[in-house]
């Protein structure tokens, strides 16, 4: 039998990854968790080689599931166990509301 469940209400901390708040993001995500900032191809959003730059940034984050890429505009969430992970803006806005 399939049962229905409701997500428990929990409070999380999150920050949107943008050029304007890069320092805030770096302060929020510890150096042990954030692997490094990267530039992304503006059209494909793929990581560029280290000698190339672009207008789109990303951040590689160590998560319990492995390394994940947060892209510009994504939210970086601190989970209930202190872990960090990226979340797409549309999913974030459907799941969370600001207090």
Residue in the structure block whose two tokens are 């984050």: 61
Percent above pLDDT 70 for the chain: 95
pLDDT at residue 91 greater than cutoff 90: yes
Cα 55 from Cα 42, distance rounded (Å): 6
Confidence at 48, pLDDT banded by 50, 70, 90: very high
For the segment 33-57, the average pLDDT, to the nearest whole number, is 87
pTM: 0.84
pLDDT tens, residue by residue, 61-88: 988 899 899 999 999 999 989 899 999 9
Where do the structural domains in the chain lie, given as residue ranges?
A: 13-95
pLDDT of residue 31: 66
Residue 29 CA, chain-centre distance (Å), reads 10
CA dist 40 and 56 (Å) reads 5
């Amino acid at each position: 039998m399939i049962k229905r469940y409701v997500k428990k209400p929990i409070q999380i901390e999150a920050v949107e990854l943008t050029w304007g708040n890069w320092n805030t993001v770096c302060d929020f995500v510890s150096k042990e968790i954030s692997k490094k900032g990267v530039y992304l191809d503006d059209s494909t959003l793929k990581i560029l080689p280290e000698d190339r730059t672009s207008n789109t940034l990303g951040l590689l984050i160590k998560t319990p599931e492995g390394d994940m890429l947060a892209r510009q505009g994504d939210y970086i969430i601190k989970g209930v166990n202190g872990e960090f992970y990226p979340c797409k803006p549309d999913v974030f806005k459907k799941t969370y509301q600001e207090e």
